Amino acid sequence: YFFATFFYNLFAVMVTFMLSSVWHAILDNFRPITIWVTDLVIYYAISPSFGETWTNYSYLQVAGMAVLLYGTAIYNAPNEGSVLLKGQWWAFGINLSKEYETIKLEQEEAEIDAKWEAKRHEFKVRTHSSFIESPRISIHTQALRGIGAQHN
């Protein structure tokens, strides 16, 4: 039990570090499914004294896990990797196309604003040191601007 918990937490930290906490949460939903299927395999393939049998309530477990996976799949829409609800049969007639378009436009606007702010900051940094105070100006340019006379 100690080693199983240790390795589970180790891999959870690695997933969070290498991917993100969102991926950690998504993959965390597969834990009950994996454990349940492993119990079934142990019972039917290895030994009936261990594991779990298939019962009448197993269908309810399958349905609950399907709802869990479906909710996980649509949760982060319209981002990549998510299932979009656009009126398909698996969307149960729910059409969120307009909402997805609004979200996409907001994301694009935020991206444009971020780029504009970065350019503005870059311009501010470049213009912070004026040409007059810059030591990189050649003597000829300083002479043409009349700067050289100020230093003499």
Instruction: For residue range 54-113, list pLDDT tens digits in order.
Output: 999 999 999 998 998 888 888 777 777 678 888 888 888 888 889 889 988 999 999 999
Q: pTM for the complete prediction?
A: 0.57
147, with CB counted inside 10 A (0-12, 13-18, 19+), is middle
CA distances from 8 to 5, 31, 63, 74, 82 (A): 5, 10, 26, 26, 25
Q: How many Å apart are CA 120 and CA 112, to the nearest integer?
A: 12
Fill in the DSSP letter of residue 78: T
Q: Which residues fall within 8 angstroms of residue 103, CB to CB, at 6 or more apart?
A: 78
Q: With b meaning 16 or more CB within 10 Å and e meaning fewer, what string describes 14-39?
A: ebeeeeeeeebebbeeeeeeeebeee
